Amino acid sequence: MKTKILLIPIIALLLSINSYAQKSHKEKIDALKVAHITEQLDLTAKEAQVFWPIYNANEEARFKLRDNKVRNQLGKLCNSLSDTEITETEAKELLNQISIIEENKHKLQKEYLAKLNTVLTSKKILKLMNAERTFKRKMLKEFKERHGGERSRRK
C-alpha cells in the first residue's frame, strides 16, 4: 500500500518534468528562430515593433490549421488506405476536406502577405521567406546529425 502511495507522486513528478522539458525545448527553438529571422532581416526598431505581432499571430494561425482535427483524421485515413479499402463516397469526402484545408492555408498566406506588405518592403518579405527556409534547413541538419549518429550506433 505504501509503495502505491509513493509511486503516484513520483509518476506525477516524472510526467511534469517531461512536459517541462518539451516546453523548454520548443521555447529554445522559438528563440533561435527569432534570433535567426532578426539577424537575416535587419529590422529597424519600428519595423520589429509592428512585424513580430503579425508574425506571431500568423504562426499561431498556421499551427491551429495544422492541428486541425479534420487534418489529423485525414492523415489517419490516408495512412490506412493501403491497409483497408474505403468507399468511393468516403474518398470523395476525404478529397473535399483536403481541398478545404488547402484553401484555408492559401487564404491565410494571402492575408499574411498583405499584412506584411504594410510593414516591410517586398525585399524584406522575400528575405523573411528565405530566413524561414534556411532556419528549417539548419534545424533539420542538426536533428540529422544528432539522431543519425544514434541510429548508426543502434545497428
- H-helix segments, 67-121: 69-80, 88-117
What residues does each domain of the chain span?
A: 51-119, 121-155
pLDDT, one tens digit per residue, over 45-87 is 899 999 999 999 999 999 888 776 666 666 666 666 655 677 8
Average pLDDT of the residues in 132-154: 82
Which position has the higher pLDDT, 140 or 154?
140
Place of cell 484555408: 104
SS3 assignment, position 83: coil
* Helices 2-41 & 45-66 angle (0-180, nearest 10): 130
The pLDDT assigned to 95 comes to 84
How high is the pLDDT of residue 109? Answer: 96
Residue 15 has pLDDT above 60, yes or no: no
Q: Give the pLDDT confidence of 97-135 residue by residue, as tens digits.
A: 888 888 999 999 999 999 999 999 999 999 999 999 999
- Buried b / exposed e across 85-102, counting CB within 10 Å, b at 16+? eeeeeeeeebeebeeebe
